């Protein structure tokens, strides 16, 4: 096949995947899908290898490499026929990442044989379980996280299997909305089939299959070349995963460890030594650990390589079964997907910092930062308009992204494998009995450095429910996001409930649900992020700009950066700054000598 034809077909596959997601988002009921974009779509070849995806959610796409094969093999390829669609969300039987992310898989037939599969995955706003929005980390096992759907046929001959769909939707808190989500994901798969059959009609079945194979091989070759640019060697790092601190256990953090061996164009990533799985939803299915590993290596090598399963062929992942990074049934997993996965990425970046310091970044907030309310909507007009009385509402709360070798981190953004957007304030207030009183960046929350870590945003909600549950799922309540090469850590997660009786309560990032009432105020901000490089090396003008823009305070400028700022006049006292920085460098040098003497 000539290069031009190959590129046309290859690019068309990615365009089809993007169109599939758009079709799904435009018709879904879950706000986190249609407003937040927490959904993905992909195309697989006849051998169930991922060949094309949209610009989607990494944690969904990496795990889909496992879950698509698991779903098809569970049902049986020989049992599939045109018009079938498999549904699954199960982490153990279906290779899923966590229960709220539901996958649809559709075989594409031509001349009596399967030529490809289309796949959609969406985060349903509620999938049942112990708490509204199905995101509680304080569960004993996976059954508290929502209905488990093993790989089964939701559509047969393009007709819905009504009894199954009724069983699924009636085990959620918003059955009508879940029925719409099902139709939306079916539509995405259906659109994908139509577009693929059009491609085959234009190019022929053989050339279509050859282009998919060539695309996988092409990405593999590019990835091997990139791995060769990393110095051969063994690189290690360790960290801790914060556990559920209420109702589950003593709250002892679980260690995680990694040893990366780079050898030519291959890489082995070994998590042996990581601690055992625990109670509470912080455990990772193996598919999630695969994804965190693949994502990190892909992002720090060459993001422009066409992403498909070929990228992952040179990478071997080892994670002992029964560990927190490869948990066994029936361990809870909901936060393993949203938080532990990101702690793994931060740990990998620390390990790689010894090999390629110019390609890594400071640690980030490492969470979805979910805050969710659930209860009866007191607004009868809205209930009538939306045809429901009970509502699960809330949003994701982004934090800071770590500083990079040549630029500051990003403020208030989802990072790494969870890159869904945030709903608009207008939509939140229109659709649910909550008022967003404020939404602003948190000062001094980004770690100081030659390049500053990104800051989180704090959001303050006023409750309009008469009574509602309030549930938080976040990260870094104990361990701040660290900086690199002298960069300082960012701020910790914080959530506070201020009740109408003037009492206050600090809510941990991983705990039980609370009950709130009308007039209560709930404030939340995810963690900040780590800086990169020595703060005393930061450009003085940048420090001044940060003070004037209120990213940092005058005190932080002086204490962390050694810069004396007169904020009222909008100037820097250069002589005082020179003296401050000289004194700080002298102190640091003396401390280094003391540590060296202690080692000797």
Q: pLDDT of 259-289, one tens digit each? A: 999 999 999 999 999 999 999 999 999 999 9
**Residue 42 sits in the same domain as residue 179:** yes
The pLDDT of residue 539 is above 90: yes
Can you tell me the distance from the alpha carbon of 2 to that of 375, in angstroms, rounded to the nearest whole number? 59
Give pLDDT, residue 250. Answer: 62
Picking from 533, 558, 573, the residue at the C-terminal end of a domain is 533
Predicted pLDDT at 590 = 83
Most confident option among 75-79, 383-387, 418-422: 75-79
- Judge if 585 and 460 occupy the same domain: no
Together in a domain, 391 and 455: yes
Query: Please, are residues 333 and 90 in contact by the beta-carbon 8 Å criterion?
Result: no
Residue 26 resides in a domain: yes
The DSSP H or E segment spanning 183 is helix 175-203
- Within this chain, do residues 407 and 472 fall inside the same structural domain, yes or no? yes
Tell whether 502 and 552 lie within a shared domain.
no
- Contacting residues for 496 by C-beta, under 8 A, at least 6 apart: 504, 505, 506, 507, 522, 523, 524
Q: What is the mean pLDDT of residues 158-180?
A: 96
Residue 244 lies in a domain: no
Give the mean pLDDT of 96-109: 96
Is the pLDDT at 249 greater than 60, yes or no? Answer: no
Three-class secondary structure of residue 66 per DSSP: helix
Is the predicted pLDDT of residue 341 greater than 80, yes or no?
yes
User: Looking at the domain assignment, is residue 386 inside a domain?
Assistant: yes
Task: Determine the pLDDT at residue 5.
Answer: 95
Closest C-alpha among 524, 459, 455 to residue 490 = 455
- Helix 554-561 and helix 540-548, axial crossing angle in degrees, nearest 10: 150
Write out the two tokens for 362: 């400071």
Q: Mean pLDDT throughout 169-179?
A: 95
- Residue 176 in domain: yes
CA atoms within 13 A on the CB side of 494: 14
The verdict on residue 342 lying in a domain is: no
Greatest distance between any 2 Cα atoms in the chain: 81
In the chain, the percentage of residues whose pLDDT exceeds 90 is 90
Domain assignment present for 556: yes
**Same domain assignment for residues 115 and 9:** yes
Residue range 555-560: mean pLDDT, rounded: 97
Co-location of 514 and 543 in the same domain: no
Task: Let me know whether 505 and 527 are in one domain.
Answer: yes
Is 400 in contact with 411 (CB distance < 8 Å)?
yes
Q: Mark whether 504 and 556 lie in a shared domain.
A: no
β-bridge partners, 101: 123
Domain residues for 576?
Answer: 538-599
Strand partners of residue 407: 404
The C-alpha atoms of residue 418 and residue 317 are separated, in whole angstroms, by 21
Residue whose C-alpha is closest to residue 145's, from 294, 269, 327: 327
What is the reported pLDDT for 117?
98
Strand order in the sheet with 233-241: 233-241, 254-263, 266-270, 315-318
Assess if residue 114 is contained within a domain: yes
Number of domains in the chain: 3
Q: Are residues 169 and 46 in the same domain?
A: yes
Last residue of some domain: 499, 533, 567? Answer: 533
475 contacts 342 by C-beta, under 8 angstroms: yes
pLDDT value at position 422? 86
Q: Cβ atoms within 10 A of the Cβ of 506, count?
A: 10
* Residue 54 or residue 162, greater confidence: 162
pLDDT confidence tier of residue 444, bands split at 50, 70 and 90? very high
pLDDT of residue 55: 82
Give the Cα separation of 53 and 44 in Å (integer). 9
What pLDDT score was predicted for residue 599? 67
Domain shared by 525 and 542, yes or no:
no
Distance CA 450, CA 404 (A): 10
Task: Provide the mean pLDDT of the chain.
Answer: 95
pTM of the model: 0.95
Q: Which two tokens stand for residue 366?
A: 């490492």
- Whether residues 93 and 149 share a domain: the answer is yes
- The answer as to whether 494 is a domain residue is yes
**How many helices (H) and strands (E) are present in the chain, helices listed first?**
14, 22
Is residue 209 pLDDT above 60, yes or no?
yes
Nearest to 455 by CA among 489, 496, 410, 486: 410
Of 221, 251, 271, which residue constitutes the final position of a domain? 221
Average pLDDT over residues 22-33: 94
The pLDDT of 462-467, averaged and rounded, is 97
- How many angstroms separate the Cα of 241 from the Cα of each of 273, 278, 318, 343? 13, 11, 18, 7
């Amino acid at each position: 096949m000539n290069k031009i034809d190959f590129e046309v077909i290859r690019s068309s596959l990615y365009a089809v995947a993007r169109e599939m997601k758009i079709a799904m988002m435009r018709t879904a009921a879950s706000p986190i899908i249609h407003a937040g974009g927490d959904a993905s779509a992909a195309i697989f070849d006849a051998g169930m290898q991922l060949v094309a995806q949209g610009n989607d959610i990494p944690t969904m796409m990496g795990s889909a490499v496992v879950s698509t094969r698991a779903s098809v093999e569970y049902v049986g390829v020989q049992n599939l026929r045109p018009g079938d669609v498999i549904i699954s969300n199960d982490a153990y039987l279906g290779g899923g990442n966590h229960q709220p992310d539901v996958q649809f898989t559709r075989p594409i037939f031509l001349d009596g044989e399967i030529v490809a599969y289309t796949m959609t995955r969406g985060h349903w706003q509620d999938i049942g379980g112990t708490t509204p929005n199905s995101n509680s980390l304080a569960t004993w096992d996976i059954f508290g996280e929502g209905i488990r759907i093993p790989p089964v046929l939701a559509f047969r001959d393009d007709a819905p299997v009504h009894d199954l769909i009724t069983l699924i939707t009636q085990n959620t808190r918003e059955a009508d909305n879940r029925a719409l989500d099902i139709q939306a994901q079916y539509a995405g798969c259906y659109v994908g089939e139509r577009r693929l059959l059009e491609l085959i009609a234009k190019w022929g079945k053989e050339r279509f299959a050859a282009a998919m194979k060539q695309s996988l091989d092409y990405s593999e070759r590019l990835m091997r070349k990139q791995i060769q640019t990393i110095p051969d060697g063994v690189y290690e790092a360790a960290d801790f995963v914060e556990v559920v601190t209420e109702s589950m256990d003593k709250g002892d953090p679980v260690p995680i460890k990694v040893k990366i061996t780079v050898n030519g164009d291959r890489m082995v990533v070994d998590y042996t030594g990581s601690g055992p799985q625990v109670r509470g939803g912080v455990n990772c299915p193996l598919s999630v650990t695969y994804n965190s590993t693949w994502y990190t290596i892909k992002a720090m090598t060459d993001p422009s390589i066409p992403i498909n399963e070929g990228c992952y062929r040179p990478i071997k992942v080892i994670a002992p079964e029964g560990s927190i990074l490869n948990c066994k049934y029936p361990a809870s997993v909901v936060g393993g997907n949203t938080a532990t996965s990101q702690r793994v990425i931060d740990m990998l970046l620390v390990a790689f910092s010894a090999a390629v310091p110019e390609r890594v970044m400071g640690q980030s907030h490492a969470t979805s930062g979910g805050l969710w309310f659930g209860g009866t909507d007191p607004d009868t007009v809205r209930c009538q308009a939306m045809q429901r009385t009970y509502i699960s509402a809330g949003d994701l709360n982004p934090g800071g992204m770590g500083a990079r070798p040549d630029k500051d981190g990003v403020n208030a953004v989802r990072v790494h494998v969870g890159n869904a957007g945030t709903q608009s304030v207008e939509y939140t207030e229109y659709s649910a009995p909550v008022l967003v009183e404020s939404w602003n960046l948190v000062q001094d929350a980004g770690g100081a450095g030659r390049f500053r870590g990104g800051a989180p945003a704090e959001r303050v909600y006023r409750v309009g429910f008469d009574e509602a549950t309030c549930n938080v799922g976040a990260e870094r309540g104990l361990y701040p996001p660290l900086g690199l090469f002298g960069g300082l850590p960012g701020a910790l997660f914080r959530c506070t409930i201020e009740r109408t009786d003037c009492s206050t309560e600090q809510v941990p990032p991983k705990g039980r649900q609370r009950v709130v009432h009308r007039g209560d105020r709930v404030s939340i901000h995810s963690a900040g992020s780590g800086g990169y490089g020595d703060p005393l090396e930061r450009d003085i003008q940048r420090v001044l700009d940060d003070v004037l823009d209120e990213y940092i305070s005058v005190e932080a400028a002086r204490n962390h950066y050694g810069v004396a700022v007169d904020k009222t006049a909008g100037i820097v006292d250069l002589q005082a700054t020179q003296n401050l920085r000289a004194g700080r460098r002298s102190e640091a040098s003396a401390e280094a000598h003391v540590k060296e003497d202690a080692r000797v």
